[in-house]
Chain A
Amino acid sequence: MQKLFSLPSLIVIALLIVGLPFVQRPVVAAEVLTLGIAAVATNLLLGYTGMLSFGQALFFGVGAYCAGVLATKYGISAFLAIPVAMLFSAVIAFLIGLVCVRRSGLYFIMITFAFNQMVFFIAYSWTTMTGGEDGLPGVRRPPLIDDQWSFYIFTVLVFICALCVMKLFVNSPTGRILQAIRDNPGRAAATGHDVGRYKLIAFVMAGMFTGLAGAIFAFVFGIVPIDKVDWRFSGDIVFMTLLGGSGSFIGPVIGAAFYTWLQETVSHYWDRWPMILGIVFALVVLFFRTGVAGMAEVLTGKLTQKGAGAKPKEMEAGS
């Protein structure tokens, strides 16, 4: 089997995993990793297939509520609830994807947004199941991973597995066909690839892993807050992905870390912290279209004098 991750990617992942719990509380570090999974999953659509989904909070929420309900109402252990929630998200993604992938561009964005709103209002109204506006509290971790360090280690393991599976997917024939569709859907179809079917596969993969992220999130703070299924959170996930760099595989993880850092740290000093988010986002879109990962690549390229001028999308293509 070919080497899955490049050395710089491995270093970044290792630094994050080891460093995060010392910079933040371990639960917050676990939150970063779950958001990282969601952002990488979203990037399967955005960066690899060229589909901007504005409904990823839907799958994050479905995963979180599914795991949360199983744990609180039926007393099912996290070890079972999380995979069940992940599969459930995949099924939902398949059904919604059947409708969404028929459209592209702005219409795709709007239809994913519409489904997101639909699920939000189901969560909002179905108070007996979801707790409505108050969220779903009392999601207990199993004894084995109850204290925050063991829970963090559990999250790290899931994070690594999820990243490996998604990276294998991206490197597989299907992953490459998705990139071909991103670059030129007309030509991909003319070479015989059923574009709609491949888009659906990408949509289900992204939905499934975003659902996994949501399912773990339910156990991070022991509550499923309703704002995690709100459309604004869909925007946050897209923000993390773009900030980190949609042209690189692990870029979105960096975006998730930065986003959480802003939220956790700056919000203590300044209530208007989302303004900083807005400014950073504008700067990234205007000047660093490739995100943090793209910037890092350009810098290391300049230092080593070989990858200089490399375009971001090629970063993964060659590995």
Chain B
Amino acid sequence: MTTGLECISVSKHFGAVKAVNDVSFEVPPGALHTVIGPNGAGKTTLFNCITSELKPTSGEVRFEGHVISGRKTHELPVFGVARSFQRTSIFSNLTVAQNVWVSAFRAFAGTRVEVLRPADAHPEVTETIYQTLEEVGLDRYANSPATELAHGDQRLLDFAIALAPKPKLLLLDEPTAGLSRSDTQRVMHLIESLKGRYTIVLIEHKMDVVMRISDRITVMYFGEVLAEGTPQEIRANPKVREAYLGRRA
């Protein structure tokens, strides 16, 4: 199967409010696709439809041909789908390594419930944890409590939890939201280093950060697709300039 992610006429209506209306796009394997739009454009609602947090009113989302929308959230990792969270979402009372363990163990053991061995008894899982922490640059904090990490490092830990199961599709919801300039740089460098190895869908608010790294961009405006194209096409699109860039340029 060579198809990556397909959003097929996805709509999500809350009563009369069409938060997302008939949004379609395709992301080939290994590509980085960004969805941008002003506040309230429906980006996060769309994201939640892709991650099965919400059930689309109509339309569906497929990955590698399998329908992944309208499922239970805990079923998505089975399809090789992982997500990060807009507001850093970690396990605050566990250590950094234990945080990554939660997703790494799931990938290793499947849905098997294990009670007879200690949690850290699997060297394969431990190896995955340290590889992942090294990749995001947190290996020296492995045994620190997650809450003691700096704000930016916590976001990287959030990434590590998503990366440890070695997913095929990464869904990133405003990964730089609320980060300082230097932390934003670190996160963007990380995303760049992941590019090509994963199919990535990025939801972003900050235009400048996505232009450089995206393969294609979908611009949303009031729940609908305003434009889709390469960063150059989007930059040149007059409708986009008016709706979005106009206020900044």
Contacts and interface: CB of A to CB of B under 8 A. Distances in A.
Q: Do A and B bind each other?
A: yes
Interface of A: 1-2, 168-169, 171-177, 179-180, 182-184, 186-195, 197-198, 201, 311, 313-314, 317-318
Interface in B108-134: 109, 111, 113-120
B98 A176 contact: yes
Given A191-B106, A191-B165, A192-B74, A314 B93 contact: yes
A268 B165 CA distance: 60
Contact of B91 (A169, A180, A198): A180
A184 B82 CA distance: 16
A209 to B, nearest CB: 14
A191 B83 CA distance: 8
B80 to A, nearest CB: 11
Contacts of B116: 168, 172
B90 A187 contact: yes
A239 to B, nearest CB: 23
A252 B75 CA distance: 36
Interface string B42-84: 0000000001000000000000000000001111111000110
B28 interface: no
Contact of A173 (B85, B89, B103, B114): B114
B102 interface: yes
A169 B94 contact: no
B74 A189 contact: yes
Contacts of B107: 192
Interface of B: 51, 72-78, 82-83, 85, 89-95, 98, 101-103, 105-107, 109, 111, 113-120, 143, 145, 147, 161, 165
A189 B75 CA distance: 8
Nearest to A191: B103
A187 B85 CA distance: 9
A168 B74 contact: no
Q: Which of B78, B85, B106 has most chain A Cβ within 10 Å?
A: B106
B132 to A, nearest CB: 13
Contacts of A180: 91, 94, 102
B120 to A, nearest CB: 8
B76 A174 contact: no
A176 B119 CA distance: 7
A2 B114 CA distance: 16
Contact of B74 (A175, A195, A314): A195
What 9 pairs across the A-B complex have the smallest Cβ distances? A192-B77, A313-B93, A191-B103, A183-B91, A192-B106, A176-B119, A173-B114, A187-B89, A180-B102
B78 A192 contact: yes
Nearest to A201: B113
Which among A172, A180, A191, A313 has the greatest number of chain B C-beta atoms within 10 A?
A191
A314 B92 contact: no
Given A187-B85, A314-B145, A317-B93, 18 more contacts: A2-B118, A172-B115, A172-B117, A173-B109, A174-B113, A175-B119, A179-B91, A180-B91, A183-B90, A188-B91, A189-B72, A192-B75, A192-B78, A192-B165, A193-B102, A193-B106, A311-B93, A318-B95
Contacts of B101: 176
Contacts of A179: 91, 93-94
A171 B117 CA distance: 8
A180 B91 CA distance: 6
A198 B105 CA distance: 14
B74 A183 contact: no
Q: Which of A182, A192, A195 has the most CB of B within 10 A?
A: A192
29 contacts: A2-B120, A169-B115, A172-B114, A172-B118, A173-B105, A173-B115, A173-B117, A174-B113, A176-B102, A177-B102, A182-B93, A183-B90, A183-B92, A183-B94, A187-B89, A188-B102, A189-B73, A190-B51, A190-B73, A190-B77, A190-B83, A190-B89, A191-B77, A192-B74, A193-B74, A195-B74, A197-B113, A317-B95, A318-B95
Contacts of A183: 90-94
A199 to B, nearest CB: 12
Given A179-B94, A191-B102, A192-B74, A171 B89 contact: no
Contacts of B109: 173
Contacts of A168: 115-116, 118
Residue from B74, B75, B107 whose CB has the most chain A CB atoms within 10 Å: B74
A115 B92 CA distance: 32
B79 to A, nearest CB: 10
B115 A174 contact: yes
Contacts of A173: 105, 109, 114-115, 117, 119
A253 to B, nearest CB: 21
Contacts of B118: 1-2, 168, 171-172
Contact of A186 (B89, B98, B105, B120): B89
B61 to A, nearest CB: 16
A83 B106 CA distance: 33
A201 B111 CA distance: 13
